[in-house]
Structure formats: C-alpha cells, structure tokens
Amino acid sequence: MNILITGANFNNKGAQLMLESLVASIKKRIPQSKICVSPLLNNDKGIKLLEVEKLNFPLFHYGSGRKFILSLKYPLLVSMLLKIKGKKVSGSIELEDIDAVFDISGFAFGDKWGNAPLKDLGIFASMMKGKKVKFILFPQAFGSFLLEGMRQDIKKVVDNVDLLITRDKSSYEYVVDSVGLGYPNIQLYPDITLTFKKSITIADTQLSGKFVAIVPNERMLDKASANWQSQYTQVMAKIIDTILSSSDLNVVMLIHAQGDSEDAKVGKDIIAHLDERYSERVSYYVEEDPVRLKSIIAKARFIVGSRFHALASALSSNVPCIATSWLHKYEMLFDDYESREFSFADPDPEIYQRAIDLIDESFNARFRDKLDVTNVTLSQKSEEMWATIIEVLKK
C-alpha cells in the first residue's frame, strides 16, 4: 500500500512531531506500506531521516492559492517552472499509484485561517475519491465555520473522505453542526501525538537540575484574544518572576521552533521583562528536534506553555502544565485531562496561583497521578482509532 501524508511540514515543531508520530504508527501497524510526502516540503534531510519517500508530483499545501489548483491541473508545467527556480520536485512514487491519503494539517481548517485551505482540501479529496483512493483526515482542529461558504466547503470534505477524525469535542461539534447528523465517517479520537513514545537521554547541564519550562508562541500576539495580545509578554514575565521568587526552581525558556523563529523573538522579549535579581536562574534553550523536545519537557517539574504540542507532550508525559490559549483546542485538551482550570483563554490573576500550586511538591505529585490514569484511557482510545482506520483501509 502506498500512503501519501499531506499537511505535514518541518517548519513547525508540533507539525513535525505529528509527522514523526504518524510515520511511526503506520510503520508499526501497516509494515508493508510505502509512505511518501510532497517533494515541496523542501527538507531532504528530514525526509531521509524519517525513512519515507517523496511523491513525484508538485503538491502544494492546502491554502497556497492559485499554485495549489494549477499544480493539480498542470503538474508537468508546474514541475518545469519549479525546476527552473531551482526547486526539486521529483520523487519515487506517482500520484496515480497512491492507495491512501492521511492528512495531518495543523490549525488550517477554520475561520481564523480563511476559506482557502478548506476549499483546497475539498477539491483534493474529491479528486482522490474519483481515483478510488482512501482518504483519512485527522488535522489538529476544525472550525469554527462562520465565514461565507465554509459550511458548504466542510460538507464537500465530509462527502469525499472515508474517515474524518476530530481530535476534540469542539471540533467534532463544529463539523456536525455544519453538515448535520447521519455521517458515520465523522469520528472523535485523541491527538495522535499523545501516545508517541521515544525516550531520549537529556544530559545538557542547564537541564540537569529542577526546572520549569516556559514555551512561548508568536500566535498569542496575533490570533489570541485582544487581552492576551496586549498583555502576553508582561503576564508571562510575571509568571516567571512568581516561580523564581516562590521556589528554588530554575526556569528554562524553551523555544519549540527554529532559533530564528518569531517564537524565539517572543521568548527573548519575555526574558527582557524579568526582574534582574533572578537572571542567573533563567536560561534560554532552542531545540529543533521535536522528539528530543518531548524528552526535555518530560524532565520539567511543570511547564507554562503557549504551543499546543508542548502542552500535549507535557500532559502525555505526566508533567503538569499551565496553558495560555488562542484556540478552543487548548481548552479541549485540558478537558480531556480534567484540568480545564489550568488553561487560560484570557489573562486572569488566577494563573499566578496555578503556578504556585504546581510549585508545591505534594500538589504536583497528585496532579501527575491524575495524568497517569488519564493517559491509560487515552492510550486505549488511540488503539480503537487505529483499529477503525485499518478497517476503513480494508474496505
């Protein structure tokens, strides 16, 4: 079976972790399959390390504008133009030989990102259905669908995919409210990265002691609530000062992205706002390997994070955390772990008390025990999801 993974990328560490998780799961459960990704991911080293192949087709990301449609209609012409620009677009697996598409797009299909990604997805899903290709969807989130035309676009997607897996209750409700009941191909299962386990030894000196990880996110400055956008840097700085003044824990500003990313700039800006008395107990750390990132997070006493997959990595590793949220997905994740009061869609003075709570060793230990119980349940649900996927692929 030839499986094409769409929606993946190496630019976002959460997206890369999803890709790593999915590839590992496919190889475990469908060992005879060949996995490929678009050659336009532009990361030959990353693709090689994953031991996957490239599609011999210039497939752009959903939402790429006219380029996406043109590549579907005139792949040879687009390939030629890309080669002239110095981009490699060749691969070992032809689009005509694909048996199944697995999509792991991030936060792409909803009002915050406009109509284009969802519309492109519907076009591609319809095209692949015409080729009798199985199509499995499990992007990061769905909805809301309030913009003109979006309800029709999600209906087209549902009609043309074999399985649409939502990863949280709000996403499930957004889809069902838009298309109606009676679609057994719409399912609800946990995030695919929660059960991904690949422990890596972390021996870095600055990560050897007791520490709290702080994970910033540029999206808090342009996609979050107006209050978060205006107060984010100051609130995060105050949380760090609270931790340092109330405990002997160190703080690691952990960049869950590339070193030259906007996240990195936001992290440095937060550090610039800290009380200088505690500067020696604050370190700055960039890690671009998403699997190593999860192992680093697993060492933390707790984390205060704004990147979804940093929080997912923490919770799935039994590490307590506090979330600053810009999308319903965050609240739904914390609902899954029965910890909604630790996720903040808006700045609130209670966030500082949550940090003090997690400093307390007995409170922290009880929190970890609760996470451990939940992770057993989520692991069982993940196995159910894969059984459903395998059954769909067999039909």
DSSP bridge pairs for 361: none
Range of the domain at 158: 2-197+378-394
Tell me the C-alpha to C-alpha distance, in Å, between residue 312 and each of 91, 293, 315, 375.
33, 12, 5, 11
> Cβ–Cβ contacts within 10 Å for residue 116, how many?
15
Mark whether 100 and 172 lie in a shared domain: yes
**Domain tally for the chain?**
2
| 12 pLDDT more than 80 | no
Instruction: Check whether residue 176 and residue 211 sit in a common domain.
Output: no
Q: Which helix (H) or strand (E) holds 193?
A: none
Whether 241 contacts 278, CB under 8 Å:
yes
Closest of 71, 65, 62 to residue 139, by C-alpha:
62
CATH number where 86 lies: 3.40.50.2000
- Are 305 and 259 in a shared domain? yes
385 and 369 in one domain? no
pLDDT in tens, 233-292: 999 999 999 999 999 999 999 998 887 889 999 999 999 999 999 889 999 999 888 889
- 255 contact partners, CB below 8 Å, separation of at least 6: 215, 216, 261, 263, 264, 267, 284, 285, 286, 287
The whole-number pLDDT of residue 203 equals 85
pLDDT recorded at residue 311: 97
* H-assigned helices in the chain: 13-29, 44-50, 66-73, 75-84, 116-130, 150-160, 169-179, 226-246, 262-272, 290-299, 308-316, 328-336, 350-359, 361-394
The answer on pLDDT for 57 being more than 90 is yes
Work out the angle between the directed axes of helices 290-299 and 308-316 (0-180°, nearest 10): 60
Q: Give the tens place of pLDDT for each residue, 296-347.
A: 999 999 999 999 999 999 999 999 999 999 988 899 999 999 999 999 999 9
- C-alpha gyration radius of the chain: 21
pLDDT (0 to 100) of residue 373: 97
Q: For 91-107, what is the mean pLDDT?
A: 95
Q: Give yes or no: residues 332 and 390 share one domain.
A: no
Q: Are residues 79 and 11 in the same domain?
A: yes
Mean per-residue pLDDT of the chain: 94
78 plus 32 within the same structural domain = yes
The confidence score (pLDDT) of residue 145 equals 95
Q: Clarify whether residues 164 and 289 are in a common domain.
A: no
pLDDT at 56 over 90: yes
What SS3 class is residue 330? helix
The fraction of the chain above a pLDDT of 70, given in percent, is 100
Please indicate, yes or no, whether residues 241 and 371 belong to a single structural domain of this protein.
Answer: yes
Q: What is the pLDDT of residues 357-387, one digit of tens each?
A: 999 999 999 999 999 999 999 999 999 999 9
pTM of the model: 0.85
Residue 250: enclosing H or E segment and its boundaries?
strand 250-255
100-127: average pLDDT: 94
Residue 161 structure tokens: 């995919």
> In the prediction, which pLDDT does 13 show?
81
CA 268, CA 339: separation in Å to the nearest integer? 29
**Pair 137, 229 in one domain:** no
Same domain as 280, residue 157: no
**Is the same domain home to 20 and 127?**
yes
pLDDT for residue 128: 98
Closest CA to 59 of 19, 21, 91, 106: 91
